[in-house]
Amino acid sequence: MAKLWDKGYAINASIESFTVGDDYLWDVALVQFDCLGSIAHAQMLLKIGVLTTKEFNVLKKSLCEIIALADQGAFAIKPSDEDVHTAIENYLVKQCGTIGKKIHTARSRNDQILLDMRLYMKEELINVMDGLVAFCSTLQTVAEQYSMVPMPGRTHFQKAMPSSVGLLMGAYLESMLDNAVLVSDAYKLIDQCPLGSAAGYGVNMPIDRQLVSDLLGFSKVQNNVLYVSNSRGKYESIVLSCLVQIMMDLSKIATDCIIFSAPEFGYFTLPDQLCTGSSLMPQKKNPDVLELIRARSATVLSCHMQVLEIIRGLPSGYNRDFQEIKKPLMQGLMITKQCIALCDLVIGNIHVNTNACINACTPEIFATDQALLLVQQGVPFREAYKKIALLQAHMPDNDPVENIKSKKHMGAPGDLGLPLSSQKIKKITVWNKTVKERNKKTFLTLKG
């Protein structure tokens, strides 16, 4: 198909293939958003008199057709189309003739892709939040269920003090709740409408950016037209920085579970259905899923870095380098969503071997508690510490269950504070549902 900037000469084939890359494949995820943006843009062009009502209706009908095709996986973007914007404009020109040639009035592919990515990121952050909500509920359940199962807490990978499976799961839960705050903060920050910035310098037409923003459900217009252009990559990296935090925590969960399900520990068992085997060693049952979650945390971290590296030395205004940002963002989102769901699956189905956990609570892990008992008898802590250090070989027997029960200060094994996290889960559930429904309604109105 014709390029939008066609000037009558043929571009070198290897240059074309290189510059398009596999963008046309990734752009499939953007068809819906590009069409919604075009409907809102057309409605604005109608308002300022560039389009007649009839023209607007013709364009809207075709754009809704494209969305319907895309929903069925039937709207293809060919490498020769360069990108989603061109594929759609070409379709419109084919379907609507001259009217189709009017849609690109007062906009650029620069602000179009900015819009598409913005809508895409908003939707995907909601999807990430869906995953977090579900995972937090699982963690809440598991933390409650195992709140009284003791296990050794570790520092320096050595046994340190009595802990509990509930404390561990509660720690995961609170990390995910913090991550949910990061996700909603990021959502609120990027919820700004870029359309109307054109190539980063505005247009000499009285366009109504507020109208477009409202039609598309943004909370505000991103004002300065050059900043819109400069925020490409910035907003993507803000989104990725949330995903990185989630993946770092999932990597910790994976690492813990790999260790605690090794034969030397045996605290946890993964169900067979979640494990894979070895081609050579008949006896093996491997926690591949956890190892890959750990590895993919490095991948998402690299995606984040890649975006930041790409934009770091660039001058103001659009640079084609921005195209290379799309893929790491999309990969980062895809991987993170998948990893949340899989961690949820693993934690929700993990088997806790209570006896192994209790038996692992060997005497030395009670040393600190012994020292603090001396303190409560009036011995200064540093002296109690030295006394106990010498006594190690003769530590009295301790009941680990009683031990964790007795630690009742805020956040300790005996008081996990789970009602508090339950409330927080409710709060993020409500937020996410509200945002999701608002967006859904906005898009229905736009198409309707």
| Residues noted as catalytic | 156, 278
- Number of Cβ within 10 Å of residue 265's Cβ equals 16
Tokens matching residue 42: 């057309």
Can you tell me which of 244, 329, 340, 425 binds a second copy, judged by CB under 8 A? Answer: 244
CB-nearer residue toward a second copy: 284 or 440: 284
Stretch 340-359 residues interacting with a second copy (CB under 8 A): 341-342, 345
Which one of 32-40, 57-65, 116-124, 192-200 is the stretch in contact with a second copy (CB under 8 A)? Answer: 192-200
Q: Which of 146, 218, 318, 443 binds a second copy (CB under 8 A)?
A: 318
Please report whether residue 427 would count as binding a second copy according to CB under 8 A.
no
Cβ(58)–Cβ(102) below 8 Å:
no
SS3 label, residue 161: strand
User: Backbone phi, then psi, for 195, in 5-degree steps?
Assistant: -65, 145
Restricted to residues 403-422, the positions that interact with a second copy (CB under 8 A) are 403, 406-414, 416-417, 420-421
Q: What whole-number distance in Å separates Cα of residue 183 and Cα of residue 431?
A: 11
- CB of 418: closest distance to a second copy in angstroms? 10
Distances (CA, A) of 372 to 28, 159, 257: 62, 18, 31
82: left (phi over 0), alpha (psi -120 to 50) or beta: left
Residues 38, 245, 353, 432: which binds a second copy (CB under 8 A)? 245
Q: 39 near 60, Cβ under 8 Å?
A: yes
Between β-strands 220-221 and 192-193, what pairing exists: parallel, antiparallel or unpaired?
Answer: parallel
Give which of 2, 218, 23, 204 is closest to 113, Cα–Cα: 23
Asked if residue 53 binds a second copy (CB under 8 A), the reply is no
Which residue from 37, 131, 196, 332 is in contact with a second copy, where contact means CB under 8 A? 196
Fill in the amino acid letter for 251.
S
The answer to whether residue 9 forms part of the interface with a second copy (CB under 8 A) is yes
For residue 444, the minimal CB distance to a second copy (Å) is 26
Please pick, from the candidates 114, 183, 238, 361, the single residue that binds a second copy as defined by CB under 8 A: 238
Contact between 62 and a second copy (CB under 8 A)? Answer: no
Q: Which is nearer to a second copy, 118 or 443 (CB)?
A: 118
Total of residues contacting a second copy (CB under 8 A): 188
Question: Cβ 395 to a second copy, closest distance in Å?
Answer: 8
Cβ–Cβ < 8 Å for 199, 232: no
Among 37, 162, 332, 400, binds a second copy (CB under 8 A): 162
Shortest distance, CB of residue 275 to a second copy, whole angstroms?
Answer: 8
Rounded-to-integer distance, Cα 3 and Cα 38, Å: 18
Region of 29-37, 118-126, 129-137, 369-377 interacting with a second copy (CB under 8 A): 369-377
Amino acid at 104: H
Biggest CA pair distance of the chain: 92
Contact pick of 54, 94, 351, 386 for a second copy (by CB under 8 A): 386
Residue 27 makes contact with a second copy by CB under 8 A: no
Which residue among 57, 137, 323, 422 contacts a second copy (CB under 8 A)?
A: 323
Torsion (CA) 213, 435, 444, 86 in degrees, nearest 10: 50
Quick one: which of 123, 329, 114 has its CA closest to 231? 114
Angle between helices 418-447 and 53-71 (to 10 degrees): 130
DSSP 380: -
Residue given tokens 């005497």 in the structure block:
363
Please tell me whether residue 399 binds a second copy under the rule CB under 8 A.
Answer: no
> Distance between CA atoms of 89 and 196, rounded to whole angstroms?
17
47 in contact with a second copy (CB under 8 A): no
Instruction: Report the site for a second copy in 64-103 (rule: CB under 8 A).
Output: 85-86, 89, 93, 98-103
Q: Which of 284, 426, 440, 441 binds a second copy (CB under 8 A)?
A: 284
Min CB(323)–a second copy separation in Å: 7
Binding to a second copy (CB under 8 A) within 113-152 occurs at none
According to the 3-state scheme, what is the secondary structure of 422-438?
HHHHHHHHHHHHHHHHH
From 72, 158, 377, 423, residue interacting with a second copy (rule: CB under 8 A): 158
In the bound state with a second copy, the residue whose beta carbon lies nearer, of 30 and 161, is 161
